[in-house]
Chain A
Amino acid sequence: MAKCTHLAAAIQRHTTAGSLLLLMFSVIIFGPRLWDTIRGEPWIENKLAIVQNSSGAIVVEDAILTRGAVHGLRANTVEAEDGSVLCSTEHHNTWLGERNRFWRIQAFTGCPPPSDPYRICSRFVIASDSGRQRYFGPFCSGLAKPE
């Protein structure tokens, strides 16, 4: 049977300690990103809105969409009109698929709604399969003007 002489010669040329070391470094440096590309990067989309429910209370509508199960840290903030953070809260969670929830502002952000115009924002720190961290957000609601 014929042999792959060119391929055998190329492999022989490159199976030296130096090349193997460089290949190992490449796997260490590029491997995690390559693995995430093959497996699919974690991804999360969030839409926030400050709305009034049927009983007249102000609540946060929190719609989340993910591709696959996503695990990470979420930081929710109340921000003034100029973007300064008035208060915040954070928690770890796992999100999967599409979900839409309504929260009281105090439960969502850890502080009561301010008397000045404000918006609600969320930021996510998501870990990929290989352990790389990715940042998503800020996802912000529109500006709410308390009466």
Chain B
Amino acid sequence: MPDDPQLWWRAAANARSPEVWAGILAGMIYVYNKSPLPARGARAAEAMVSGLLAYATGEWVAAWAGVHEAIAVILLASLGYLILDVARSLVADRQILKEILIKRLGGRNG
């Protein structure tokens, strides 16, 4: 039933204005082009994560910052993945960071 207005994707698409969708798409294209991953599928997945982050949080962030939602989603879609990427690298390096911190604070590991 492609014309059923209750279809989830139709409801999701209608929940945002065309400007907001353009902003999300712009951010996703940026992330796709910037991704260091060689596989197209992996790059598309990164772009998708950014787009979904922007879709999920754009309305709230725009209201919080007092800016137009299209502006908020461009930045969220472009930078959402950057923030996740840095956070993921921090988690991956947690053991080394812990050792560095312990050393700096003058403690002993273990």
Contact = CB atoms under 8 A, between A and B. Distances in A.
Contact of A14 (B64, B66, B82): B82
Given A4-B93, A6-B89, A6-B92, A22 B79 contact: yes
Given A10-B85, A10-B86, A26-B75, A4 B97 contact: yes
B74 to A, nearest CB: 9
A57 interface: no
A29 interface: yes
A47 B97 CA distance: 53
Interface in A88-133: 132
Interface in A7-31: 7, 9-11, 13-14, 16, 18-19, 22-23, 25-26, 29-30
B82 A29 contact: no
Contact of A29 (B34, B71, B93, B100): B71
Contact of B67 (A19, A23, A29): A29
Determine the main DSSP class of A at the interface with B: helix
A32 to B, nearest CB: 8
Interface residues of A, number: 23
A9 B34 CA distance: 14
B95 to A, nearest CB: 8
A18 B34 contact: yes
A70 B44 CA distance: 49
Interface of A: 1-7, 9-11, 13-14, 16, 18-19, 22-23, 25-26, 29-30, 33, 132
Given A10-B86, A13-B34, 13 more contacts: A4-B93, A4-B97, A5-B93, A6-B93, A10-B88, A14-B85, A22-B78, A26-B75, A30-B61, A30-B65, A33-B64, A33-B65, A33-B66
